[in-house]
Structure 1
Amino acid sequence: MKKLFSTFICLFIFLQGFAQFEKTEAEITELMKKIDVAGLAVAVVKNNKLIYNHSFGKKSIENNTMLSNTDIFRIASISKSFAATSIMQLVEAKKLSLDDDFGDLVGFKIRNPKYPEKVITLRMVLSHTSSINDSQGYFNLDVINPAKNENWAKCYTDKSPGTGYLYCNLNFNMVGAVIERITGKRYDSYVKQHILSPLNLYGGYCVDSLDSQRFASLYEYENQSFKLATAAYAPRREELSTYQLGHSTPILSPTGGMKISAVDLAKYMMMHMNYGKLGSTKIISQKSAKQMQTALSDEEGYGLALLNTTNMIDGVPLTGHTGSAYGLYSAMFFDPKEKFGFVMITNGADGKMEKGFRVITRETLRILYQNLIKN
């Protein structure tokens, strides 16, 4: 009798979970019609386990192919956390310090001309408190090198380094160059060897190192229609053929160029959620992981390539990062204490904003939270 009762309970729980998945999929499908979304991939972690992974909509509008769970996306600025994770590995190996003068690390003078005596540290660069801006672009390190660009001073704001937050992509393309200078390895190779491969994840920064058949096409949303972003997966073979370590790094875009699937990104997220470990695999120490997750700017809640917020899902404290490029919107957010988290990636959507985040991102995570975590 006890065995029968136990079987009944298990069946009840299974059916209840199945019903929640169906409800989730119906609500997301309706959301995609309401907001206008090309395709969307999601993954959910609960109680430290991956419980849900699903793909909706089109992988390619032109070819009328549907998105699948094995497809990979350029994930934009979530990529920054891979650079910061790499830096923390080098800190632990005592190859550098977060308080090092960033100019010494990158190989040319990094000083705000308005505050010439104030050292700009690696920690400031990782937390976007460096006073550096993207006004001169960020795809070439020469823009901020005084020996290469007479307008280098325009790369700095009026704020004193370390006193204010300003999101800056140039910061992380320079961080990638530092990793190359310290390790002697190309940035994408370092990340693959020290993060992706140990975690058994398929992804990378170099287009030609990946299966192009798995790329989800990206679409910019303009005038209520989708336009293919042809530059999203440009291989840049000619530039790579003359690659110089520590200088050509923006070609690989440490600031935004990681390509990975939603489910593998969720596994990477679980490593951070568990303070540097996934199962028995340790990527960084608990101390390093907590440093990355600790806000250095109270107003923005930004740490070292990870953000703390209660605005993604109203009133729910989460840690993670968003991404936006070539029409794609991505998000990776988790609660390291309650051991749940979400990944969502859309390859094209109406990008309207609400409370500092994309509506498609907030609404997707709200549906996942309500149906699969809270309930």
Structure 2
Amino acid sequence: MKKFLFILIIGVCYCNQLSWAQQQSFDEKITDIMKQYQAIGLSVAVVKNNTMLFSQSYGLKNVEQDQILHPDDIFRIASISKSFSATAIMQLIEQNKCHLDDDFSDLIGFKIRNPNFPDKKITLKMILSHTSSINDKNGYFDLDVINPTHSDQYKNSYSNYEPGTKYAYCNLNFNMIGAVIERLSGQRFDLYIKEHILDPLQLYAGYCVDSLDKQKFVTLYEYDNNKQEFNPQPNAYLSRSLEIKNYTIAHSTPVFSPTGGMKISAVDLAKYMGMHMNYGKGFNGLQIIKKSSSKLMQIPITSDEGYGLALMKTDKLVPHKTLIGHTGSAYGLYSAMFFDPKEKFGIVVITNGCHVPEYTEFNPFLKDCIQLIYQTMIQN
């Protein structure tokens, strides 16, 4: 793919409560940030006082076809997906089908024990908070990699520290969570999420590629530093129809990638964010999870990382503000969803490709966008 030449393209605005002057000023500033990071496309959605204040898209949905990005186009949002899985678990906890201190072995149906600490129980809470001592060294798209009866390399999926004592991000944790949702509910993972979270909140989204309008998929572009060019990543939206045809509940679950496979627009992700911002209640007034469950998800388990149950708390995005949310990155996509449950505002930003320097915590492009949005739309 040739180098991307940035040209400002603004999609149809979904919702805008800004004045014309505010809109023009914001568009100019966000465009400058996009140019700086060679961003291909960007979708923005902003909630303030429990109202969708602003939603806009910039740039391209598909470079090869010169398609403009629209606010209702959908992205594979990567790791923000984990919070949908955790929300589902909280629903099942409320139904007394499981508890946070349950032995995860009992929930998943095979032995989950760090061989270096065989007497230490690994709990559901540890899995949800990335304190399980499980890692992704064996990969995470096949649950057999950690099943001791199916793999002689399962020990490599455990790190050499005691479960519950340390945070280490791990995708395998949440693909296993997806399997547990299936075992406890009796429903296929994607169908459970649709019936119990997406449909009640009236969101057009899903984990199953084949159940969504392919015309709405935003092409993702990964930047090749050696060749200094963007390359499309079609694997982000591969059909799983064959795997689904031969699906086994609680075993084939990684097909849907509970850890990162949600497809949704920035607008609908902001509506979902609003549910967490209002402690389990959607903008339509429907309570998805109890207030106590929602608050529990937002409480950090480890002090340094600020990670709770698939939601994290940080004061490093906006100066002098503590926000709650999650980020995602895969196939060249970068996403962020952060909110303040007390001041009732939240910001969603998603790009389908950008060129950023190496970073340790937050994508600098998304961070710059979030700070601009806060200064322009929230602070004033």
Q: Following TM superposition, by how much is the alpha carbon of 1:173 offset from its aligned partner in structure 2, in angstroms?
A: 0.1
Amino acid aligned to 1:337:
K
The question of whether the paired residues in 1 share the 8 Å contact of 2:17 and 2:54 is answered with no
Question: Is the aligned partner of 1:349 residue 2:354?
Answer: yes
- TM-score where L is the length of structure 2: 0.94
One-letter amino acid of the counterpart of residue 73, structure 2: D
Counting only pairs closer than 5 Å after superposition, residues 134-283 of structure 1 correspond to structure 2 as: 134-223=136-225, 224-278=228-282, 279-283=284-288
Quote the Cα distance in structure 1 between the aligned partners of 2:357 and 2:131: 27
- Which amino acid in 2 is paired with 1:174? M
What secondary structure sits across from 1:282 in the alignment? coil
Q: Give the conservation status (yes or no) of the 8 Å contact 2:133–2:158.
A: yes
Whichever residue aligns with residue 136 of structure 1, its letter is N
Letter matched to residue 230 of structure 1:
P
The correspondence of residues 61-80 of structure 1 with structure 2, limited to 5 A, is 61-80=63-82
Q: Which amino acid aligns with 2:29?
A: E
Give the CA deviation at 1:265: 0.2
What code does the residue aligned with 2:68 have?
M
SS for the counterpart of 1:313 is coil
CA distance in 2, matches of 1:147, 1:15: 58
1:314 aligns with 2:319: yes
Q: Distance in 2 between matches of 1:306 and 1:103?
A: 24
Distance 1:239 1:15 in 2: 45
Specify every segment of 5 or more residues in structure 2 that has no aligned partner in the other structure, as ranges.
Answer: 1-15
Matched, 1:323 2:328: yes
* 1:353 Cα offset (Å): 4.3
CA contact under 8 A between 2:17 and 2:53: conserved in structure 1?
no
Q: Contact (CA 8 Å) 1:84, 1:126: kept in 2 or not?
A: yes
SS at match of 2:222: strand
Give the Cα separation in 2 of the matches to 1:182 and 1:289: 20
Measure the CA separation in 2 of the matches of 1:183 and 1:236. 22
User: Structure 1: 5+ residue runs without aligned partners?
Assistant: 1-13
Q: Which residue of 2 aligns with 1:9?
A: none
Deviations 1:113-156 (A, max 9, x none): 01100000000000000000001000000000000110101100
User: What do you get for the CA RMSD once the two structures are aligned?
Assistant: 1.2
Which one-letter code corresponds to 2:268 in the other structure? D
* Structure with more helix by fraction: 1
Identity %: 57
Q: Match of 2:4?
A: none
Give the one of 68, 88, 93 matched to 1:91: 93
2:342 is aligned, of 326, 333, 337, to 337
Bigger radius of gyration, 1 or 2? 1
Cα distance in 2 for residues equivalent to 1:74 and 1:356: 21
Structure-2 separation of matches of 1:355 and 1:242:
40
Offset, 1:25: 1.3
The aligned residue for residue 292 of structure 2 is: 287
2 CA distance for matches of 1:54 and 1:354?
A: 26
TM-score, normalised to structure 1, is 0.95
